[in-house]
Amino acid sequence: MSDTPQQPSVLFVCVHNAGRSQMAAAFLTHLAGDRVHVRSAGSAPAETVNAAVAEALAEVGIDISAEVPKVLTVDAVQASDVVITMGCGDTCPVFPGKRYLDWQLPDPAGQGVDAVRPIRDEIEQRVRALIDDIATAADA
């Protein structure tokens, strides 16, 4: 009987959980399916997901219309193998044994869909690289 590797988990964090972290979580869910457990949260979540972000994702066939910004909790960080921050600075709790990445990306807040598209495309590229990285780590 072989050991089944534990499903890796990734947490995406930005301040409002309305733009960058929602896009990253949506791409990871879309591209990795159930191979990765995906969470997203914000240190000061907005009331709704950024409409231009939702529109930009819909253009590539990803529907996040049912998503709502979530508050960042210590439990979410502790339950994640990889924590990716996007402009939340020192508000993200840090725990030993977790892998932290900080993705420097423009904030889509207040931007139209034309300004969001390049951010979306950059996030997609980073998520694809992350999937490859997680798969390589799981095989090691």
Q: What is the pLDDT along the chain (140 residues), one digit of tens a residue?
A: 444 457 899 999 998 999 999 999 999 999 999 999 999 999 899 999 999 999 999 999 999 999 999 999 989 999 999 999 997 666 666 777 889 999 999 999 999 999 999 999 999 999 999 999 987 776 76
The whole-model pTM stands at 0.91
- Tell me, letter by letter, the H, E, C secondary structure of 40-96: EEECCCCCCCCHHHHHHHHCCCCCCCCCCCCECCHHHHHCCCEEEECCCHHHCCCCC
Distance of CA 67 to the CA centre of its chain: 13
Closest CA to 92 of 114, 77, 103: 77
d(CA 70, CA 66): 12
Active site (catalytic) residues: 14, 88, 92
The answer for residues whose C-beta is within 8 angstroms of residue 120's C-beta and 6 or more apart is 23, 53, 56, 57, 60
